[in-house]
Amino acid sequence: MAAPLDLDSLDGLDEFATVRQLEYLEAVRKFASIRKASTALGVNKSAISKSIESVRLRAARSLPVLHDYTQKVPSGFAIRGVSQYIGKDGKVNGQWVKTSREDEKDQEAIKAAYEAMADDLPRLNPVAAPKNAHADLCNLYVMTDCHVGMLAWHKENLGEDWDLSIAERTLSGCFEQMVMTAQPARTAVIAQLGDWLHQDGILPVTPSSGHILDSDGRFSKVVSASLRILRRMIDCALTRHEKIYLLMAEGNHDISSSIWLRVMFQALYENEPRVEMIGSELPYYVHQHGETMLAFHHGHLKKNDHLPLLFAAQFPKIWGNTTKRYVHTGHRHHVEEKEHSGITVVQHPTLASRDAYASRGGWISDRQATATTYHSRRGKVATVTVTPEMLDA
């Protein structure tokens, strides 16, 4: 039996809440019950509970941890020490607060912030499912290393440009080509395998090494374009498949952005039972289709030869319940496929053109994307490959 709600525990949370979260807090106080508040607002009970916990976390990371400490600490920082100036009367006349970054908790704070923002997102209404799809088939659409927001110049790149408008036209068009020419499968997996965004924030640098990147436009424009493309991809797939499994994988270019992408699309399609997120706090993901195992990793943390044993250890039950197994990776921008004992590792290329860094390094590969059809018992049974040139034709 759940513990009774302590209304006093909600005191002081308002200043840390978004507009939507404030509405939740006021309703819970009014009805003295999360269940009654959810009924009154027409919102799922768990959504209100998670939202309040998100506010509590933000407040806890901002408020003092010492009873006589009068300053607030910015989110993402921890108290390293406090120096106090005490007068002759024994009272504290001033304080010097020393803080440090809490790197190990940064991702937790970022996720909480994104979940708070997602509370205010509108939810999309469900649409009718298509008919006459094959129940045993699952189409896998892989989009990896798309680098939305990258800027490439044709004079240093074999005649190929890349910017936001080209990315939107190319990625949307090629995905629609895959969907319309692939097998009529009842289910589909949209595997956005990481490095969807070229940069991970306002500054055009890689998040880990800080290498300067060639960027097209402000980050807000990059985000807007990337969301339009992803929405268009999902809506297109819904016209052909009864059930969509959506993966927003972590890449080395978009470690933080992969979090808000997962949170945002989970919220957007919350009312659409035909869209389900493939979630994991680790950058290793799996989907089981009958006796077929589909595993995913961007490729930035583990080499391809290490992935079979890792997925066998990470997901032993799914491994044991399947007979056909495949790992899909990206990161290296070229095709490679190798069969191991019990599993095949498939490395996918990219639809994006090369940037100056890749051009100067002499890395050349064909630009393409592949839709693979898997049978629930027989594994891979068909493929469809698309290229940017097909759009021109």
Average pLDDT for 198-214: 89
127 pLDDT more than 90: no
Confidence of residue 146 (pLDDT cuts 50, 70, 90): very high
Q: 3-state DSSP call for residue 136?
A: strand
* Cα diameter, the chain: 85
75 pLDDT more than 50: no
pLDDT of residue 65: 45
Asked if 332 and 299 touch (Cβ cutoff 8 Å), the reply is: yes
Average pLDDT for 12-20: 79
Contacts of 40 (CB under 8 A, 6+ apart): 27, 31
Vertex 122 angle, CA 143 and 189, to 5°: 25
Look at the block and give the residue holding tokens 């393409």: 368
Looking at per-residue confidence, does 146 or 31 come out higher?
146
Q: For 225-271, how does the pLDDT look when each residue is reduced to its tens digit (9 = 90+)?
A: 999 999 999 999 999 999 999 999 999 999 999 999 999 999 999 89
Residue 63 token pair: 């408020």
pLDDT of residue 341: 94
Q: 3-state DSSP call for residue 143?
A: strand
Q: How is the chain split among helix, strand and coil, in percent rounded to 5?
A: 35, 25, 40
62 pLDDT more than 80: no
166 pLDDT more than 80: yes
**C-alpha–C-alpha distance, residues 131 and 305, integer Å:** 40
Looking at per-residue confidence, does 352 or 84 come out higher?
352
| Angstrom distances, CA of residue 12 to CA of 7, 24, 48, 62 | 11, 14, 17, 12
* CATH number corresponding to 134-392: 3.60.21.10
Residue type at 279 in one-letter notation? G
Residue type at 93 in one-letter notation? N
Domain boundaries, the chain: 7-118, 134-392
Confidence of residue 294 (pLDDT cuts 50, 70, 90): very high
pLDDT of residue 98: 57
Q: 3-state DSSP call for residue 280?
A: coil
Output the DSSP codes for 110-134.
HHHHHHHHHTTSPPPPP-PPPSS-E
Rg, C-alpha atoms of the chain: 24
